[in-house]
Structure 1
Amino acid sequence: MQRLIPTGEAARPVAFADAPQPVPDTGEALIKIEAFAPNRGETFLLEHPRPEWLPGKDIAGLVVQVAADGSGPGIGARVVGHPAQGGWAEYAAVPTHSLAVLPDSIDSAQAAALPLAGNTALRLLRTAGSLAGRRVLLTGASGGVGHYVTELAVGAGAELTAVTATPVRGERPAELGARVVHEVAAAQGPFDVVLESTGGPDLALALSKVRPGGMLVWFGQASRTPVSFDFFQLLDGPERVTIQHFHYAGAPYGPDLETLVSLVAQDRLHPEISRIADWAQTAETLVDLRVRRIRGKAVLLTGGAR
């Protein structure tokens, strides 16, 4: 079979290679992949790829071999999955606890855009707690996670302010019901909850806009700039603010994937996909994703071979 492997080259970070078809472990099903969606974090890992690492965590396709332990969906089921790695290929072995069956109303491209970004959004909002009637600030709002957080938070009754780098990148969050600004300094606080994903100087600035007793949840560093705090500046800011670090990871992912699939099927969640292309264009798409030429998600289809 064909799979994409890291090259370590910035201009063309992956290349096709022949590989044996994976052999599933006892609790894994073999999936024939129809679509996969790269994440921006994966583009950073491709700059200095670890030995033996095979990229690919967001996939959709068909079950062609059921798990040996009898768990999971049957042969021919259309599924969305979140393997630990190896999803940029014709086939992948995926733990059945991290699969969800797709209804006919959701195509593979939509489904592939769900796993990492959608799971992150769901779990992040659970961390934030009930949002009905609360004022929320979200930084990095135009990425894959940001669109899901925006739609889910507004749907839950939050008064959301979304920070995007440009007016064009803010169009979709505005359509979803957010108040859009283009720098953290322009956000009109105080906020009950701040969901911060850019790092660098934005985190400290966002923290200053939290109400006394409020919460800041730090879930990313998209700027790739380290965060530093001046303790004495914290003393001048709001009192009793909770700062919480968040990371989405932790299997099983299947139950949350089922929730995401249900929300899409009910027309309550809409994957924001700015590019759908043949997987022959993966390398170019990864570069565009890394330098932010893509809003929301990009999806690659394996149906048309290279």
Structure 2
Amino acid sequence: MQRLIPTGDAARPVAFTDAAEPVPGTGEALVKVEAFAPNRGETFLLENPQPGLLPGKDVAGFVVQAAADGSGPGVGTRVVGHPAQGGWAEYAAVPTHSIAVLPDGIDSVRAAALPLAGITALRLLRTAGALAGRRLLLTGASGGVGHFVTELAVGAGAEVTAVTATPERGARLSGFGARVVHEVSDAQGPFDVAFESAGGAQLPPALAKLRPGGLLVWFGQASRSPVTLDFFEVLGGPERATIQHFHYAGAPYGADLATLVDLVARGRLHPEIGRIAPWTETAATLVDLRERRIRGKAVLTTGEAR
């Protein structure tokens, strides 16, 4: 089969190679990959790839070999999955606890856009607790996670202020009902919760926008610049504010994937897909994703996605 592997070349981060089909473990299904979605964090890993790295966490397709332990869906079932790695290939071994079945109304392209960004959004919002009537600030809002967080939070009754780089990148978020600004300093606080994904210079003013006792959930550093906090500025900010580090990881993912699929099927969640291309264009797409030339998700197809 064909697989994409790292090259270490920033201008062409991956290349095709011939590889043996993966041999699934006892609790894994072998999935014929029809579509996969790279994530911006994966583009950073490809800049200095570790030996043995097989990228690819978000896949959709159909089962060609059911798990040996009897768990998970049977052969021929259309699925979305979140393997630990190896999804940028014709076939991927996916743990059955990280698979959800797809209904006929959701194609592989939309499904592939769901896993990492969607699971992150669900788990982020759970850290905030009940959302109805609460005021949320979200930085880096025009990426895949930001679109999901905004749509889900507004749908749950939260008042969301989304920070985007340009009006164009914020237009869809405004359509969801979010208030869109382009600098954290322009956000009209105070906020109950700030979801901060940019790092660098954006975290301190986001923290300052919290109400007393508010929560800042730090879930990324998309700016790739470290954060500097001045103790005395923090001391003069909102009293008893909490900064909580967040990382989405923690299998199993199947239940969250099933929730996302159900929300899409019921018209309550709409993945933002900024590019759909054949997987022969993966290298160029990764560069554009890294350089923020794609809004929302990019999805690559290995053939005719169903």
Question: What amino acid is the match of 1:156?
Answer: A
Aligned to 1:22: 22
Q: Tell me the percent identity.
A: 79
Question: What amino acid is the match of 2:71?
Answer: S
Which whole-Å deviations, capped at 9, do the CAs of 1:214-260 have from their partners, x for residues lacking one?
A: 11111000000001211111111010111111100010000000000
Aligned to 1:12: 12
Deviation at 1:131, TM superposition (A): 1.1
Aligned to 1:121: 121
Aligned to 1:170: 170
Q: How many residues align?
A: 305
Aligned to 1:47: 47
- Taking the aligned partners of 2:102 and 2:96, their CA distance within structure 1 comes to 14
1:299 aligned onto 2:299: yes
Extract structure 1 runs of 4+ deviating beyond 4 A: none
Aligned to 2:133: 133
Aligned to 1:185: 185
Deviation at 1:98, TM superposition (A): 0.2
1:1-306 alignment to 2 at 5 Å?
Answer: 1-303=1-303
- Taking the aligned partners of 1:67 and 1:192, their CA distance within structure 2 comes to 44
Question: What amino acid is the match of 2:62?
Answer: L
- Taking the aligned partners of 1:201 and 1:294, their CA distance within structure 2 comes to 23
Deviation at 1:142, TM superposition (A): 0.1
The secondary structure found in structure 1 opposite 2:9 is coil
Question: What amino acid is the match of 1:292?
Answer: R
Which whole-Å deviations, capped at 9, do the CAs of 1:45-86 have from their partners, x for residues lacking one?
A: 000001001000000001000000000000000000000000
User: What TM-score do the two structures reach when normalised by structure 1?
Assistant: 0.99
The secondary structure found in structure 2 opposite 1:203 is helix
Deviation at 1:2, TM superposition (A): 0.1
- Taking the aligned partners of 1:78 and 1:234, their CA distance within structure 2 comes to 50
Which whole-Å deviations, capped at 9, do the CAs of 1:75-104 have from their partners, x for residues lacking one?
A: 000000000000000000000000000000
- Taking the aligned partners of 2:245 and 2:275, their CA distance within structure 1 comes to 31
The secondary structure found in structure 2 opposite 1:195 is strand
Which whole-Å deviations, capped at 9, do the CAs of 1:165-216 have from their partners, x for residues lacking one?
A: 0111111111111000001111111101101000011101100000001111
Question: What amino acid is the match of 2:233?
Answer: Q
Deviation at 1:269, TM superposition (A): 0.2
The secondary structure found in structure 2 opposite 1:7 is strand
- Taking the aligned partners of 2:40 and 2:60, their CA distance within structure 1 comes to 18
Which whole-Å deviations, capped at 9, do the CAs of 1:99-154 have from their partners, x for residues lacking one?
A: 00000000000000000000000000001111100111000000000000000000
Which whole-Å deviations, capped at 9, do the CAs of 1:251-299 have from their partners, x for residues lacking one?
A: 0000000000000000000000011000000000000000000000000
The secondary structure found in structure 2 opposite 1:8 is strand
- Taking the aligned partners of 1:131 and 1:223, their CA distance within structure 2 comes to 27
Question: What amino acid is the match of 1:64?
Answer: V
- Taking the aligned partners of 1:135 and 1:123, their CA distance within structure 2 comes to 18
- Taking the aligned partners of 1:200 and 1:71, their CA distance within structure 2 comes to 44
- Taking the aligned partners of 1:10 and 1:175, their CA distance within structure 2 comes to 35
The secondary structure found in structure 2 opposite 1:149 is helix
The secondary structure found in structure 2 opposite 1:88 is coil
The secondary structure found in structure 2 opposite 1:194 is strand
Question: What amino acid is the match of 2:230?
Answer: D
Provide structure 1 residue ranges, at least 5 long, that are not aligned to the other structure: none
